[in-house]
Structures are given as structure tokens and as C-alpha cells.
Amino acid sequence: MSLVTQAFIVEKYGIRLKLEQVAEILGVTKGALYNQISAGTCPVKTYVDGGKRWADYRDVAKHIDECRELAA
């Protein structure tokens, strides 16, 4: 996993991302992301804390790096 990708995400969004932020990064709507989570097809791990759903920056960075490797 690229430290550059991790650093970019942390600097822009922080260490945990709201679903709106994850949707922005993935290029999907918030509704589409909720549908993926419900269907179990979301490419990024998410968790609930304090009644809100979050994603860890490392999981988002890992997904971005995996997409880049598949494209190469």
C-alpha cells in the first residue's frame, strides 16, 4: 500500500472518513454506496461508531492502490 496515497487521504479527509467522503473518492453517489454496503459488495470496509458509519483511511488507500494495479 502506497504511503503517498495514505498521506493524501489523511491530509484531505482525516484518519476516518464519512460515507460522503468515501463516495466522493469512489466516484459514486452516497445512495449507491449505501446500496453496496447493504448488498455486501462495497469495496471498502466500513464500521459503525456512535451511530454513524465510517471507513478507515488505510482501507480506502488500499482500494485505490488495488484499482491502480488492476489498471496497469
pLDDT at 72 over 90: no
Domain 3-70's class? mainly alpha
Three-state SS sequence of the chain:
CCHHHHHHHHHHHCCEEEHHHHHHHHCCCHHHHHHHHHHCCCCCCCEEECCEEEEEHHHHHHHHHHHHHHHC
pTM of the model: 0.89
Domain boundaries, the chain: 3-70
**Better pLDDT: 69 or 20:** 20
Q: Encode pLDDT of 9-38 as tens digits.
A: 999 999 999 999 999 999 999 999 999 999
Confidence of residue 2 (pLDDT cuts 50, 70, 90): confident
